């Protein structure tokens, strides 16, 4: 918005330059003062070389002919040289007059009159348009031959008091009397008199720098022409209007402003000295405050003014907040359509509106009076999913995004246990170090009840904009985030991160019902405004004349202000003669088709083989009912299909037929108008070279007609995708290409790739990172996917036709995500080039590469059933998110993972994080069994081999339970210990029946959530057909019983019991209350650092709460980390946990 206001200001540039050219030196000002005044005038002229322009103006506008003649003799005259020459001449004139008359010369003395209302004393005001002399009078040397020194008792200058023009009619701020200034007042300082001068010029004398002009402050009566320099700045989350001043080196804020803000920052002494017309200004303190304007933020030093004044933002801070620029205006160097707000050159009234409603272009709004309630199906149980572990290097970017969303109020931390917990997928933004957080709402969407709400139809749009010749489109800034969710609905949006659980306070991208809810609320907010329609976050305004459109635009902005909604200036279009809506072009001539709808057909290349020809005929068969003489026209092409064992020959007859069919497909009688109420489907397909999609709708007579076509070629990287990934890419491409049609509608997607159906239908346990990213892009749309064989797929030929000459593929954000995973997967000491080279030499992997490239694989191949899990990233074959290791490198990779001579299980764990190949387990076992070092120092074989208990990835997944007692009072204790955090829970039992145990466990489950598994001994209370087993079945908890008389199999709880019994027995022996001693022991144990927890944290800190309502089995996620990080730096927790055995 600042730049829009700046553009309006630039329209007066010619006038400002005229004022500059007309400026001449006053009789009462020195050359230094004259130059200062020219500097001020030049700030709005935007000269290419300001100093050179000032030099020219001084030569032409100075009063001294002697000075002008002297300056014209100089070659390459600079401004500094000019001031030096002027100072010498003025000093000489001043001294010469004293020699001649004995009186000081009064003509060329630097004088600055104070304003008539300087004695108001009610506030410290804004900066004046003029500055003091660059070379103050104190620098003019006095000749030693002067016979006497005359000092004015009114102002302190060297002239007679009777001739004083400065202070003759002024009031002293010290004694209150007229006729002199405070600086020469002979009275004592009045303690009751407030030192509140009207500051005109302020200079700073700092020990670290030369004197510098900072600010001059006028009376409020002179402020009208500076309103365009006042800008709202966020300080301590409070909006403060600040004067943007490029001539100031300091930021100044008054104590009165801080008091009104109810803000008390930490203060520091200010060591600089500020002066105003030789009078010191009492600036004694400063503070450092974080300020924000738009998306820019900085920490700025503010000088605290004890007197009331407007807040002033200096040059440096204004530059850091992007409120000022140095150099040519980028808006002036672009065309009208390239400018931020797309405003035509003669739309001064529209500029006035934009300036008036500049607050609507800033920040994130929140729709007033609306708190959405998302309806859910109560029969669907909430699901708390595991958080997906983030790569270490990506956590900083996630933290930054979380902080940004928290500051905007879009998310909030969760303190109480939520019912739903969704995972997040951070996606890197193109050409940026920032990321975008995507919440995987697929599980929560199954419980959301959609609320159908229709988007405006084409007929409604024609009626609303009938006769309109000009259009404006406004884009609501981050539209969904401007609508608030009520507290109950926020439960659905909770997501887990490494910093804990957060939830959205606003509507979010990915919620299945978001599109229709958003359309309804924005439409209600704009109700009653003529010539206005919204489609999702786009607001379209139409007018028959420019005046009518401007009037309607102003009404919309006023409504937006009333509803507290903001727009994105970069996506707004003003005073346009054409606008696109749902594949149609709105203009003064009515509605016409958009060329993009048929661009894919226009760019179709003729088929090059029988397969492509068959695919092309299959596509046009979709429209055969609307093509006249279809059989006759297509006969030459169908004859090619009949010729078997004959070389392919494409003649001019075939080309003519092909061109005729393309023209028929483009005919208006073939293409249908889009109807939001009609049944809609899209067909997608992907080949080795391209993507294709067709949007179809069912007509009132029951036939299906195409509405729009889309296709593009694959980039070199995309051509190395697996077939499944290419088909996923085709779906997301179609959704993005037809977004204006499909957003908010329920529709069907038809694909000829059967494995694609379950991927989009329900969350899957193991998919590649690339597919995961593509699936997330499809979450905002409401569709069902069905399988349709390729011979009936209308998009098949669109995907196979080569469009390299016509289509430019944009950079794919998905590749940024996949490459990030790949770069953190390479094994230590093995380069990507080595792996790729050896993979191409491996016959088995070569067959996989051929499949990915040509979509062909024999069913007898051992990898046929898992063929869709392979992909190529940077020439390396991946199995899901792990590298497929060729045979020639497997021994080397095992050797790397076996560093430190770790055991079989630990070595397998290392390898499975990063790498994969069939038969990895037996290969590892054989390698370690033949390892000479392991055999020499290996432990003696034990009679009974012990199986290790794997430590879970998070808290409260694996519990060890046991009974302790009875104690002298006849009571027993139920002890539960979390295997991950070592956090204990102890419940008092009056009896040891299975029912009592189940009752206590139910309380724990309701408090913390149900675990995945419970480990107990083989006591009667834990056997089948007991209340305990019924409870586990209800919560879908696994039960693992240890071998009788083998307590080490449940080592976590048995070790805790030993300490517990010791504490209770000691308290009984000392005659203390053993229950109170138990509580003290638990408090101490939970808060004492534990040797086997992560980073040796205490159990309370190591325990991270997680919501686990385990009616449905939980899917385990695999974290992608560097293999060397799992090497020698294995934590003590894993080292000790391996000693725990079943």
DSSP string over 134-178: SS-GGGSPPPTT-S-----TTTSSSS-GGG-SSSTT-B-TTT--B
* HSE, side-chain direction, 13 A CA sphere, residue 31: 29
Take residue 747 and report the two structure tokens written for it.
């529709």
User: Do 529 and 556 meet the contact criterion of CB atoms below 8 Å apart?
Assistant: yes
Q: How far is CA 561 from CA 240, 360, 526, in A?
A: 18, 7, 12
What class is the 348-572 domain? alpha beta
DSSP characters for 116-140?
A: TTGGG-S----B-S----SS-GGGS
SS3 content of the chain, % helix, strand, coil (to 5): 40, 20, 45
Asked if pLDDT for residue 71 goes beyond 50, the answer is: yes
Lowest mean pLDDT among 502-506, 629-633, 949-953, 1012-1016: 629-633
Contact present, 171 and 154 (Cβ < 8 Å): no
| 3-state SS assignment for residue 990 | coil
pLDDT above 70: residue 1086: yes
pLDDT average, residue stretch 941-964 = 74
Check whether domain 671-791 has CATH 3.30.465.10, yes or no:
no
Residue 162: predicted pLDDT: 67
Residue 626 pLDDT greater than 90, yes or no: no
CA distance 151 to 158: 4
Decide if pLDDT at 909 tops 60: yes
Cα Rg of the chain (Å, integer) = 40
Confidence of residue 589 (pLDDT cuts 50, 70, 90): low
Three-state DSSP at 281 gives strand
| Res 562 pLDDT > 50 | yes
- Biggest alpha carbon distance in the chain? 125
Q: For residues 707 and 582, give the distance between their C-alpha atoms in angstroms, rounded to a whole number.
A: 10
Say if residues 863 and 871 touch (Cβ distance below 8 Å).
no
User: What pLDDT, on the 0 to 100 scale, is given for residue 500?
Assistant: 86
- Classify domain 230-321 by CATH number: 2.40.70.10
State in words which class domain 826-937 has.
mainly alpha
What is the rounded distance in angstroms from the CA atom of residue 630 to the CA atom of residue 665?
11
Query: Which CATH superfamily, name and number, covers 958-1106?
Result: Ribonuclease H-like superfamily/Ribonuclease H (3.30.420.10)
pLDDT at residue 728 is higher than 50: yes
Helix (H) or strand (E) holding 546: helix 546-563
The pLDDT of residue 644 is 67
- Looking at residue 592, its pLDDT comes to 59
Q: Give the rounded percent of residues in the chain with a pLDDT score beyond 70.
A: 69
293 touches 234 (CB < 8 A) = yes
User: What is the predicted pLDDT for the residue at 509?
Assistant: 80
- pLDDT mean over 884-899: 82
How many residues belong to the chain? Answer: 1142
Q: Please, is 483 exposed, middle or buried when counting C-beta atoms within 10 Å of its C-beta (0-12, 13-18, 19+)?
A: buried
Confidence tier at 141 by pLDDT (50, 70, 90): very low
- What confidence category does residue 593 fall into, taking pLDDT thresholds of 50, 70 and 90? low
User: Strands across the sheet with 584-587, in order?
Assistant: 578-581, 584-587, 590-593
Q: In this predicted model, which residue has the larger pLDDT, 582 or 340? A: 582
Do domains 230-321 and 958-1106 share one topology? The answer is: no
CA-closest candidate to residue 78, choices 62, 58, 48: 58
d(CA 244, CA 43): 12
Give the count of beta carbons closer than 10 Å to the beta carbon of residue 158. 18
Greater pLDDT, 812 or 952:
952
- Cα-Cα-Cα-Cα torsion 740, 742, 744, 747, nearest 10 degrees, comes to 170
Question: Is the pLDDT reported for residue 204 higher than 50?
Answer: no
**Residue in the structure block whose two tokens are 């009404």:** 555
Peptide bond into 966 cis (omega under 30): yes
Among 14-28, 268-282, 733-747, 825-839, the minimum mean pLDDT is found in 268-282
Distance CA 273, CA 293 (A): 29
Q: How far is CA 431 from CA 320, 817, 819, in A?
A: 22, 13, 14
C-alpha distances (whole Å) from 52 to each of 18, 77, 78, 79, 80 are 16, 9, 7, 7, 11
pLDDT given at position 952: 80
Beta bridge partners of 1039: 1014
In this structure, are strands 782-787 and 870-873 parallel, antiparallel, or unpaired? Answer: unpaired
Quote the pTM value: 0.41
**Range scoring the smallest mean pLDDT among 133-142, 649-658, 958-967:** 133-142
What single-letter DSSP state applies at residue 291? E
Contact status, residue 460 vs residue 533, Cβ threshold 8 Å: yes
Cα angle: 870, vertex 874, 875; to 5 degrees: 65
Dihedral angle computed from the Cα positions of residues 1065, 1066, 1069 and 1070, in that order, rounded to the nearest 10 degrees: -150
Whether the Cβ atoms of residue 1000 and residue 987 lie closer than 8 Å to each other: yes
* First-to-final CA distance of the chain: 68
Closest CA to 640 of 628, 627, 654: 654
Residue 478 has a CB neighbour count (10 Å cut-off) of: 16
Local structure of 572: helix, strand or coil: coil
Confidence of residue 505 (pLDDT cuts 50, 70, 90): very high
Q: Could you tell me which residue, 763 or 535, shows the higher pLDDT?
A: 535
pLDDT score, position 559: 93
β-strand pairing of 424-428 with 500-504: unpaired
Question: Which residues have C-beta within 8 Å of that of residue 1003, sequence separation ≥ 6?
Answer: 987
> Which residue, 637, 670, 631, 674, is CA-closest to 653?
637
CB 790 within 8 A of CB 754: no
Residue 561 is predicted with a pLDDT of 92
> Confidence band (pLDDT; 50, 70, 90) for 833?
confident
Residue 566 pLDDT greater than 90, yes or no: yes
Closest CA to 195 of 271, 256, 283: 283
Q: How confident is the model at residue 391 (pLDDT cuts 50, 70, 90)?
A: low
In the chain, where the domains are located = 4-93, 230-321, 348-572, 671-791, 826-937, 958-1106
Tell me what the mean pLDDT of segment 1060-1082 comes to. 81
How confident is the model over 934-956, as a mean pLDDT?
66
What's the pLDDT score for residue 234? 84
Please give the pLDDT value at position 790. 59
Distance separating alpha carbons of residues 493 and 480, to the nearest angstrom: 14
CB 474 within 8 A of CB 556: yes
Higher pLDDT residue, 688 or 300? 300
Q: Which two tokens stand for residue 161?
A: 């008091």
- The C-alpha angle 227, 229, 233, rounded to 5 degrees, equals 105
| pLDDT band at 514; cut points 50, 70, 90 | confident
Asked whether residue 668 carries a pLDDT value surpassing 60, the answer given is: no
* Whole-angstrom distance, CA of residue 194 vs CA of residue 121: 8
C-alpha to C-alpha distances, 1005 to 108, 986, 998, 1109, nearest whole angstrom? 92, 14, 10, 8
d(CA 94, CA 789): 101
Statement: residue 398 has pLDDT above 80? yes
Q: How far apart are CA 765 and CA 1116, in angstroms?
A: 7
Give me the mean pLDDT over the 784-798 stretch.
Answer: 68
pLDDT band of 858, cuts 50, 70, 90: confident
Long-range pairs of 23-26 with CB within 8 A, sequence gap ≥ 24:
23/57, 23/61, 24/61, 24/62, 24/63, 25/58, 25/61, 25/62, 25/63
Q: Is the pLDDT of residue 890 over 80?
A: yes
Q: Please tell me the predicted confidence (pLDDT) of residue 219.
A: 39
For residue 201, what is the DSSP state?
-
Highest mean pLDDT, choosing among 189-198, 325-334, 618-627: 618-627
Average pLDDT for the chain: 73
Q: What is the pLDDT of residue 863?
A: 79
């Amino acid at each position: 918005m600042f730049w829009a206001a700046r553009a309006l200001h630039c329209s007066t540039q010619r006038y400002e330059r005229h004022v500059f050219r007309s400026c001449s030196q006053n009789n009462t000002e020195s050359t230094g003062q004259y130059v200062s005044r020219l500097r001020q005038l030049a700030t709005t002229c935007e000269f290419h070389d300001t100093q050179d322009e000032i030099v020219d103006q001084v030569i032409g506008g100075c009063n001294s002919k002697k000075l002008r003649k002297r300056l014209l003799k100089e070659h390459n005259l600079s401004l500094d040289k000019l001031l030096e020459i002027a100072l010498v001449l003025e000093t000489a004139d001043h001294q010469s007059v004293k020699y001649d008359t004995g009186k000081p010369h009064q003509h060329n003395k630097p004088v600055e009159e104070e304003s008539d209302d300087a004695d108001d004393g009610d506030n410290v005001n804004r900066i004046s348009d003029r500055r003091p002399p660059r070379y103050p009078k104190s620098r003019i040397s006095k000749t030693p031959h002067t016979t006497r020194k005359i000092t004015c008792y009114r102002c302190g200058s060297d002239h007679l008091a009777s001739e004083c023009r400065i202070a003759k009619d002024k009031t002293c701020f010290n004694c209150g009397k007229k006729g002199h200034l405070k600086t020469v007042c002979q009275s004592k300082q009045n303690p009751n008199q407030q030192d509140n001068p009207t500051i005109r010029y302020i200079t700073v004398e700092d020990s670290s720098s030369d004197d510098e002009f900072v600010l001059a402050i006028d009376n409020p009566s002179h402020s009208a022409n500076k309103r365009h320099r006042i800008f709202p700045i966020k300080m301590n989350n409070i909006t403060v209007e600040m004067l943007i001043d490029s001539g100031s080196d300091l930021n100044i804020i008054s104590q009165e402003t801080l008091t009104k803000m109810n803000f008390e920052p930490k203060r520091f002494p200010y060591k600089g000295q500020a002066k105003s017309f030789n009078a010191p200004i009492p600036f004694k303190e400063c503070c450092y405050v974080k300020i924000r304007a738009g998306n820019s933020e900085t920490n700025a030093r503010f000088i605290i003014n004890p007197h009331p004044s407007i807040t002033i933002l200096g040059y440096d801070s204004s530059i850091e907040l992007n409120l000022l620029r140095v150099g040519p205006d980028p808006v002036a160097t672009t065309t009208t359509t390239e400018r931020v707000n797309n405003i035509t050159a003669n739309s001064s009234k529209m500029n006035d509106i934009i300036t008036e409603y500049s607050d609507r272009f800033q920040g994130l709004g929140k729709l007033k009076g609306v708190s959405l309630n998302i309806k859910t199906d109560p029969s669907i149980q909430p699901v708390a999913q595991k958080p997906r572990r983030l790569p270490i290097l990506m956590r900083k970017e996630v933290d930054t995004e979380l902080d940004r969303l928290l500051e905007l109020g879009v998310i909030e931390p969760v303190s109480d246990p939520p019912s739903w917990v969704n995972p997040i997928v951070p996606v890197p933004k193109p050409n940026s170090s920032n990321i975008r957080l995507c919440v995987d709402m697929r599980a929560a969407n199954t419980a959301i009840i959609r609320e159908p709400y229709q988007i405006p139809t084409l007929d409604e749009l024609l009626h609303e904009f009938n006769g309109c010749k000009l259009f404006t489109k406004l884009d609501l800034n981050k539209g969904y985030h401007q609508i608030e969710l009520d507290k109950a609905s926020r439960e659905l949006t909770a997501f887990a991160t490494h910093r804990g659980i957060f939830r959205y306070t606003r509507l979010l991208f990915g919620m299945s019902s978001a599109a229709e809810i958003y359309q309804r609320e924005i439409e209600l907010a704009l109700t009653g405004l003529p010539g206005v329609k919204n489609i999702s976050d786009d607001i379209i305004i139409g007018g028959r004349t420019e005046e009518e459109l401007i009037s309607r635009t102003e009404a919309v902005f006023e409504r937006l202000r009333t509803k507290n909604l903001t727009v994105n200036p970069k996506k707004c279009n003003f005073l346009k003669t054409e606008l696109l809506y749902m594949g149609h072009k709105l203009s003064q001539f009515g509605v016409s088709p958009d060329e993009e709808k048929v661009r894919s057909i226009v760019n179709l290349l003729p088929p090059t083989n029988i397969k492509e020809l068959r695919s092309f005929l299959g596509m046009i068969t979709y429209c055969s009912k609307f093509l006249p003489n279809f059989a006759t026209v297509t006969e030459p092409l169908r004859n090619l299909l009949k010729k078997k064992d004959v070389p392919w020959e494409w003649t001019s007859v075939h080309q003519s037929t092909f061109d005729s069919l393309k023209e028929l497909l483009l005919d208006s009688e073939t293409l249908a108008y889009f109807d939001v109420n009609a049944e809609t489907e899209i067909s997608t397909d992907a080949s080795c070279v391209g993507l294709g999609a067709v949007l179809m709708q069912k007509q009132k007579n029951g036939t299906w007609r195409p509405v729009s076509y889309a296709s593009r070629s694959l980039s070199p990287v995309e051509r190395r995708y697996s077939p499944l990934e290419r088909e996923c890419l085709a779906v997301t491409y179609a959704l993005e290409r037809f977004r204006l049609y499909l957003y908010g509608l329920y529709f069907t997607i038809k694909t000829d790739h059967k494995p694609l159906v379950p991927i989009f239908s329900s969350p899957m346990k193991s998919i590649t990172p690339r597919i995961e990213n593509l699936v997330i892009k499809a979450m905002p749309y409401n569709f069902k996917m069905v399988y349709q064989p390729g011979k009936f797929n209308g998009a098949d030929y669109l995907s196979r036709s080569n469009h390299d000459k016509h289509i430019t593929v944009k950079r794919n954000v998905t590749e940024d995500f996949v490459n990030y995973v790949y770069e953190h997967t390479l094994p230590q000491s093995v380069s990507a080039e080595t792996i790729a080279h050896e993979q191409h030499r491996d016959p088995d992997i070569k067959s996989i590469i051929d499949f990915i490239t040509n979509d062909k694989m024999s069913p007898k191949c051992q990898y046929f059933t898992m063929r869709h899990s392979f992909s190529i990233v940077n020439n390396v074959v991946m199995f899901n998110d792990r590298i497929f290791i060729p045979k020639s490198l497997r021994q080397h990779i095992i050797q790397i993972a076996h560093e430190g001579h770790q055991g079989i299980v630990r070595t397998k764990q290392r390898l499975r994080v990063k790498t994969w190949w069939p038969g990895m387990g037996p290969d590892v076992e054989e390698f370690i069994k033949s390892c000479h070092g392991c055999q020499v120092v290996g432990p003696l074989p034990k009679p009974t081999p012990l199986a290790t208990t794997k430590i879970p990835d998070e808290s409260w997944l694996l519990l060890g339970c046991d009974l302790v007692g009875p104690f002298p009072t006849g009571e027993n204790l139920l002890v539960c210990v979390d295997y991950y955090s070592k956090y204990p829970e102890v419940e008092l039992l009056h009896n040891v029946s299975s029912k009592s145990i189940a009752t206590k466990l139910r309380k724990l489950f309701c408090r913390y959530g149900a675990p995945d598994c419970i480990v107990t001994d083989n006591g009667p209370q834990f056997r089948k057909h007991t209340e305990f087993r019924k409870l586990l079945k209800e919560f879908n908890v696994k039960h693992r019983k240890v071998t009788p008389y083998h307590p080490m199999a449940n080592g976590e709880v048995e070790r805790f019991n030993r300490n517990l019994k010791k504490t209770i027995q000691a308290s009984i022996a000392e005659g203390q209350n053993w229950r109170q001693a138990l509580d003290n022991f638990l408090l101490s144990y939970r808060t004492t650092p534990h040797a086997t927890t992560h980073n040796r944290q205490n159990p309370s800190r190591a325990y991270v709460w997680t919501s686990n309502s385990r009616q449905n089995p939980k899917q385990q996620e695999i974290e992608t980390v560097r293999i060397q990080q799992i090497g020698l730096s294995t934590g003590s927790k894993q080292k000790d946990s391996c000693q725990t055995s079943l």
